[in-house]
Amino acid sequence: MLPTGIDEELFYQLALTFVPDVGAKTGRILYDYFGTATDIFKAKLQEVKAIAGIDEKRSKGFRDPEVLKKTQDELAIAEKHGINILSYKNGNYPSRLAQCIDSPLVLYYRGNANLDAKKIVAIVGTRKSTDYGQRLVDELVEGLQSQEDIIIISGLAAGIDTIAHKKSLDLHIPTVGVLGHGLDRMYPVGNKKLAKEMIENGGLLTEFPFDTVPDKGKFPMRNRVVAGLADVTVIVESAISGGALITGRMANGYNRDVAAYPGRVHDSRSAGCNKLIRTNMASMITCADDLLDLMNWKNNRPKPVQKELFISLTPEEQTLIDIIQSKDQVHADELYNLTNFNSSQLAATLLGLEMQNLIKTLPGKYYRMN
Distance CA 101, CA 87 (A): 14
DSSP 8-class letter at 115: T
Q: Does domain 307-369 have CATH number 3.40.50.970?
A: no
Distance CA 157, CA 260 (A): 18
pLDDT digits (tens, 9 = 90+) for 162-193: 999 999 999 999 999 999 999 999 999 999 99
| pLDDT band with cut points at 50, 70 and 90 for residue 354 | confident
Pairing relation of β-strands 150-154 and 119-125?
A: parallel
More confident position, 53 or 224: 224
Average pLDDT over residues 131-142: 96
Could you give phi then psi for residue 202, rounded to 5 degrees?
Answer: 140, -120
Check residue 307 and give its pLDDT. 45
Distance CA 178, CA 364 (A): 29
139 pLDDT higher than 50: yes
Average pLDDT over residues 215-226: 93
Check residue 257 and give its pLDDT. 95
Same fold, 111-300 and 307-369: no
DSSP 8-class letter at 296: T
Domain boundaries, the chain: 8-81, 111-300, 307-369
User: What is the CATH T-level fold of the domain 8-81, as seen in this structure?
Assistant: DNA polymerase; domain 1 (1.10.150)
C-alpha of 62 from chain center: 29
Q: Does domain 111-300 have CATH number 3.40.50.300?
A: no
pLDDT digits (tens, 9 = 90+) for 306-327: 444 445 789 899 999 989 988 8
Check residue 53 and give its pLDDT. 85
3 pLDDT higher than 70: no
**High-pLDDT (> 90) share of the chain, %:** 71
28 pLDDT higher than 50: yes
Average pLDDT over residues 61-76: 94
